[in-house]
Chains A and B, each alone.
Chain A
Amino acid sequence: MNISASADVLLDVNDLVVHFPAGRRGMFGPPSKVHAVDGVSFRVRRGTTFGIVGESGSGKSTTAQAVMRLIPMTSGQIVFGGENIAEFRGEKLRLARSRFQIVFQDPFSALDPRRRAGDLIREPLDLLGIGSPREREVRVRQLLEEVGLPPQAANLFPHQFSGGQRQRLCIARAMAPEPDLIVCDEAVSALDVAIQAQILNLLKKLQRERGLTYIFISHDLGVIQHFCDEIAVMYLGRIVEQAPAQAFFSAPSHPYSWSLISAAAPPGPLRVRLKKDYLVKGDPPSPVDPLPGCRFVQRCPFAIARCRDELPVLNIQADEHFVACHRTGEINPPDFASL
Chain B
Amino acid sequence: MKAIVSVIGKDKKGIIAKVSTALYEMDINIENISQTIMQEYFTMIMAVDFSDSKLKFNEIAKNLDKLGQDNAVEIHIQLQSIFDSMHQVTTTENKL
A and B held together in a complex: no
- Using a CB–CB cutoff of 8 Å, the interface residues on chain B facing chain A are none
